């Protein structure tokens, strides 16, 4: 069946368990599930219709089967605060979260890779002694706190950037693409992406540094030295290329991780993405929306874990996945 097939089945299995957990969390909580799941402002008839539509008049295992069937068809119910299909709302928020995550990750990884390679080269110097604790400190800082500092300085202090949201009031665009690439959008994106990037750059930096240190002791680097290649060529052409491997995997994992972890940054900057949607839905007891947002975030995470694993095997042929080669 091969490694890819096995890994795919595992991902589907994990998704199924997460979906089941989600079902149990939202249905088996104390209290009447209809109170949680169905809007209290509905008329009795509407309520009965909803009950039947979601199978809430059936025993639990039937409800579970209906839930799975609905999930497979992309049917996530209606948000009760906004009255629109959850899937539609979630798919509207997803591009904003992806834009924030990707721009922050790209900046963070470019900076991290370069700075990490630099620090590996500067091993044992004063620069390293100061930089490493500093980098660790950015990893230890809560993201929302970094966001608050940036807001206080650049949005409220100097007034250079807007204090929240993803668009100026009254802005309208012909299409989603036009919006995501408009100057106004980038202007709003900059501060939240920066806050996220400051938090995210530590991992690629430390990874790059430690793998560089490892690679620099490898035989092929010694070989390159013996061939008389310049230090620069050795670092860039030989060492860095091999050291990039774990960084690429971490990048894929980073996408999955930050789509869920963005929750606080999106809240600080009122960024209308998935994370903030989840928080407001949970706070407003909008359970269908909360469940939908949670499931999508989990699906992205599982998918990116899968991509990271496959990417690693593809980039590094030495990983033979248990098969004797």
Partner 1 sequence: MAPARPSAWRTASGQIGRVLRIASRDWFALAGTLIYLALILVAIFADRIATHDPSEILYTGRYRIARNLPMSWDHLLGTTHGGRDIFSQLVYGSRSAVVVGLTAAFCVAAIGTLLGLLSGFFRGWVDTVVMRLADVVLGLPFLPFVIVLAALTRPGTATIVFSVAVLLWPNTARVIRSQVLTVRERAFVEAARVTGCSTWRILFVHVAPSILPLSFLYGSIAVGWAILTEASASFLGFGDPSVISWGGMLQDAYASQAMGRGAYNWFIPPGLCIVLVVLAGFFISRGYEEILFPKLRS
Residues that bind partner 1 (CB under 8 A): 10, 13-15, 17-18, 21, 25-26, 29, 133, 136-137, 139-145, 148-149, 151-152, 155-157, 163, 213, 217, 257, 259-261, 263-264, 267-268, 275, 278-279, 282-283, 285, 290, 293-294, 297-298, 301-302, 305
Q: How far is the CB of 57 from partner 1 (least distance, A)?
A: 22
Q: How far is the CB of 322 from partner 1 (least distance, A)?
A: 14
Which of 303, 301, 287 lies closest to 86, judged by CA?
287
Q: Which residues of 272-287 are buried (b: 16+ CB within 10 A; e: fewer)?
A: bbbbbbbbbbeeeebb
Contact 263, 279 (CB under 8 A): yes
Write the CA distances from 4 to 298, 308, 311, 319, 320, integer angstroms. Answer: 21, 12, 11, 13, 12
Residue keyed to tokens 């909580």: 29
Query: Between residues 103 and 267, which has the closer beta carbon with respect to partner 1?
Result: 267
Q: How far is the CB of 43 from partner 1 (least distance, A)?
A: 27
Q: How far is the CB of 248 from partner 1 (least distance, A)?
A: 19
Alpha helix ranges (H) inside 151-286: 176-180, 183-200, 202-215, 219-226, 231-233, 241-261, 263-268, 274-283
Q: How far is the CB of 49 from partner 1 (least distance, A)?
A: 26
Query: Between residues 1 and 183, which has the closer beta carbon with respect to partner 1?
Result: 1
For 98, half-sphere exposure in the C-beta direction (CA atoms, 13 angstrom radius) is 13
Cα 75 from Cα 70, distance rounded (Å): 5
Give the largest Cα separation in the chain, rounded: 84
The dihedrals phi and psi of 85, each to the nearest 5 degrees, come to -60, 135
Q: How far is the CB of 305 from partner 1 (least distance, A)?
A: 7
For 39, half-sphere exposure in the C-beta direction (CA atoms, 13 angstrom radius) is 16
Which tokens hold the place of 95? 């591009």
Query: Between residues 179 and 215, which has the closer beta carbon with respect to partner 1?
Result: 215
For 252, half-sphere exposure in the C-beta direction (CA atoms, 13 angstrom radius) is 17
Query: Between residues 8 and 180, which has the closer beta carbon with respect to partner 1?
Result: 8
Query: Between residues 117 and 253, which has the closer beta carbon with respect to partner 1?
Result: 253
Query: Between residues 45 and 219, which has the closer beta carbon with respect to partner 1?
Result: 219
Q: How far is the CB of 228 from partner 1 (least distance, A)?
A: 25
Query: Between residues 234 and 293, which has the closer beta carbon with respect to partner 1?
Result: 293
């Amino acid at each position: 069946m091969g490694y890819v097939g096995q890994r795919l089945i595992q991902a589907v299995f994990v998704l199924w368990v997460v979906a089941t957990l989600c079902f149990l969390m939202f249905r088996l909580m104390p209290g009447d599930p209809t109170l949680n799941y169905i809007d209290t402002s509905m008329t009795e008839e509407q309520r009965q219709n909803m009950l039947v539509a979601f199978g809430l008049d059936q025993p639990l295992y039937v409800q579970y089967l209906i839930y799975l069937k609905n999930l497979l068809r992309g049917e996530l119910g209606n948000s009760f605060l906004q009255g629109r299909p959850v899937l539609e709302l979630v798919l509207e928020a997803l591009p904003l979260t992806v834009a924030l995550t990707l721009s922050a990750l790209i900046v963070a990884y470019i900076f991290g890779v370069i700075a990490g390679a630099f620090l590996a080269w500067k091993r044992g110097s004063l620069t390293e002694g100061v930089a490493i604790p500093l980098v660790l400190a950015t990893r230890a800082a809560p993201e929302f706190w970094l966001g608050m500092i940036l807001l206080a300085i650049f949005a409220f202090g100097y007034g250079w950037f807007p204090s929240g949201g993803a668009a100026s009031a009254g802005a309208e665009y012909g299409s989603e693409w036009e919006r995501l690439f408009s100057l106004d959008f980038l202007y709003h994106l900059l501060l939240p992406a920066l806050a996220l990037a400051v938090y995210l750059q530590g991992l690629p930096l430390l990874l790059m540094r430690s793998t560089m240190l490892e690679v620099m002791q490898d035989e092929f680097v010694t070989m390159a030295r013996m061939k008389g290649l310049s230090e620069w060529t050795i670092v860039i052409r030989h060492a860095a290329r091999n050291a990039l491997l774990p960084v690429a995997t971490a990048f894929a994992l980073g996408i999955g991780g930050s789509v869920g972890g963005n929750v606080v940054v999106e809240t600080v900057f009122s960024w209308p993405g998935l994370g903030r949607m989840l928080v407001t839905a949970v706070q407003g007891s909008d359970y269908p929306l909360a469940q939908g947002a949670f499931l999508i975030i989990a699906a992205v995470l599982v998918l990116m874990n899968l991509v990271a694993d496959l990417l690693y095997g593809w980039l590094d042929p030495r990983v033979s996945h248990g098969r004797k080669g």
